[in-house]
A = this chain, B = another copy of it.
Amino acid sequence: MLQELKEFFERRDRFARLLGFRIVEMDEGYAKVEAEVGEEHLNAADVLHGGFLFSLADYAFAVASNSRNDLSLAVSANILFHKGISDGTVTATAREIRAGKSVAAYSVEIHDGNGTLLATFTGTVYRKGTALV
C-alpha cells in the first residue's frame, strides 16, 4: 500500500514535479522529501523563496497524512523561517503528532545539506473517510 501511494503521489502531484520534489522515505504517519535548490527558486533577495520551503514542507505533510490511504485535506499550516540559503539540497521530514480519525496534526522540519534547521512547520488535516488509491 505504501509503495502504491508513493507512486500515486509521484505520478499525480504535478506541482511537486514542477519543483523537483522527491519522496525519499514514507511510512505510516511519516514522510521525508527532498529537493535541489535552483536559481529559478530564488526570491528578489537572492535567497530561496519562502513559498518553496513551505511547498516542500506541505508536500511532506501531504504524503505523511495520506499514508494510511485515508484522504486527508489540509486545513491550516504554520511556518517559522529560521535561516535563508541560496543553493544545495533541502530535506523536509514530517511526523504525526496527533493521529485522530477525523482530525490529525503533523510537524515538519526542514534542514539543509549540513543538517542546519531552516524552517519549522506544523499543519492540521481533516479526514474525509475516502480512499486515495
Residues of A whose CB lies within 8 Å of any CB of B are 8-9, 12-19, 39-46, 49-52, 54-56, 58-59, 62, 66, 71, 73-84, 97-98, 102-103, 105, 107, 117, 120, 122, 124, 126, 132
Apart from A45-B73, A54-B55, A75-B105: 16 A-B pairs, beta carbons within 8 A: A13-B42, A15-B42, A16-B43, A45-B132, A50-B62, A51-B54, A51-B55, A51-B58, A54-B54, A54-B77, A73-B81, A73-B84, A74-B81, A76-B80, A102-B126, A105-B120
- The CA-CA distance from A18 to B76 in the complex, in Å, is 25
- Shortest C-beta distance, A117 to chain B (Å), equals 7
Work out how many copies of this chain go into the complex.
Answer: 4
